[in-house]
Structure 1
Amino acid sequence: MLKALIFDMDGTLVHSDPTHLEAFAEVLGPEGVVIDDALYRSAIIGRTNDAIFASLLPHRTVEEHEDFADRKEAAFRRRALDLKPLDGLVELLDWAESHGIRIALVTNAPVLNATHMLDVLGITERFAVKVTIEQVERGKPDPLPYLTALERLGIGSEEAVAFEDSPSGMKAAKGAGLFSFGVLTGLTADDMKALGADGTIETFRDPALWEILERRVAA
């Protein structure tokens, strides 16, 4: 029986990757680091800020990495003022609520970003559980964030469906035992399936998604 939908945030609820790329470029450009699409996808997407800045600025201290991360997230929030939910998301949330299915957020983003993004999208009150990077000892790709969400929801992994767009996120969701859809805002369907995705969708209107959801609700 389906009891919860668990969503990643960036690239899943909203196509925010271009805005993140701009924020990273603003902060790292003066350091001589050129942030283009290829580097963003290979070294940034889905990773924690700790890992990102350690790999891109290995000569800097941990304290400096934290400062860069804070500045980058502030730059992102300043830019992310008019983003819209991914196509079909609001209708999916409405459907879930009408069927008594709870909604959860699992993100490697800090709580300030999560709060800002959900407010901009107008969906803050939809989420019964929100797990951000500060609330867990290990972020994605570790399954701990998803396991934490399941614990707070009071359900088993077989009672939820996850939505992810990144390699680290998909590894985390599958590591927690979740049936998982890969949202194709950044990676290809083949990429997602290679990471273990049970299905792939371009938007939340995809018939493949609704076939699975309706079947699991009826189970």
Structure 2
Amino acid sequence: MLKALIFDMDGTLVHSDPVHLEAFAEILAPEGIVIDEELYRSSIIGHTNEAIFAALLPHLPVEEHEAYADRKEAAFRRLAQALKPLDGLLDLLDWADARGIRIALVTNAPLLNATHILDVLGITDRFAIKITIDQVARGKPDPLPYLTALERLGIAADEAIAFEDSPSGMRAAKGAGLYSFGVLTGLSAEDMRAVGADDVIETFHDRALWQLLERRIAA
């Protein structure tokens, strides 16, 4: 029986990657680092800020990595004022609400970012559970954030479906035992299937998603 839908945030609820790229580019330009699409996809998407700044600024101490991360997230919130939900998301949330299916968020983003994005999208109150990087000892690709969400929801992995757009997120969801859709806002279907996606969708209107949902609620 389907009891919950669990969503990543960036690239899943909203196509926010272009704004993140802009924020990273702005903050790292003084260091002479050019953030382009290739570097963003290979070294940033789906990674924690701790890992990102350690890789891009290995010559700096951890304290400065943290300061850069804080500045980057502040820049992102300043730039992210006009984002819209991914196509079909609101319909899916309405469908779940009407059936008593709970909604959860699992993101490597900090709480300030998650609060800002959900407010901008107008969906803050739709989420029963919100797991951010601040609340767990290890972020994705570790399955701990998803396991924490399942524990707080009081359900088993086979009673939920996850939605992810990055390799690290997909590995985390599959590591927690969840049936998982890869959302194709940044990577190809082949890329997402290669890291474990059970199926892939371009938007939340995709037929593959709704066919599975109908089967799961009929079970």
TM-score tier, shorter chain, comes to over 0.9
Shift of 1:100: 0.5
Residue identity opposite 2:17 in structure 1: D
Q: Secondary structure at the match of 1:14?
A: coil
Mapping of residues 153-168 of structure 1, within 5 Å: 153-168=153-168
Shift of 1:195: 0.6
What is the match of residue 53 of structure 1? 53
Residue identity opposite 1:190 in structure 2: E
Residue identity opposite 2:81 in structure 1: L
Mapping of residues 78-117 of structure 1, within 5 Å: 78-117=78-117
In 2: Cα distance, 1:98 partner to 1:208 partner? 20
Shift of 1:124: 0.1
Shift of 1:203: 0.1
What is the match of residue 75 of structure 1? 75
Residue identity opposite 2:96 in structure 1: A
What is the match of residue 4 of structure 2? 4
Q: Secondary structure at the match of 1:34?
A: coil
Correspondence 1:22 to 2:30: no
Provide Cα deviations, 1:92-148, integer angstroms capped at 9, x if missing partner: 000000011000000000000000000000000000000000100000000000000
Shift of 1:70: 0.2
In 1: Cα distance, 2:29 partner to 2:213 partner? 44
Shift of 1:49: 0.2
% identical equivalent positions: 79
Give the length in aligned residue pairs: 219
What is the match of residue 144 of structure 2? 144
Shift of 1:200: 0.1
In 2: Cα distance, 1:55 partner to 1:104 partner? 30
Residue identity opposite 1:79 in structure 2: L
Q: Secondary structure at the match of 1:47?
A: coil
TM-score of the aligned structures, taking structure 2 as reference length? 1.00
In 2: Cα distance, 1:7 partner to 1:116 partner? 16
What is the match of residue 135 of structure 1? 135
Q: Secondary structure at the match of 2:172?
A: helix
Q: Secondary structure at the match of 2:182?
A: strand
What is the match of residue 202 of structure 1? 202
* Structure 1: 4+ residue segments shifted above 4 A: none
Residue identity opposite 2:48 in structure 1: T
TM-score of the aligned structures, taking structure 1 as reference length? 1.00
Provide Cα deviations, 1:142-175, integer angstroms capped at 9, x if missing partner: 0000000000000000000000000000000000
In 2: Cα distance, 1:114 partner to 1:146 partner? 16
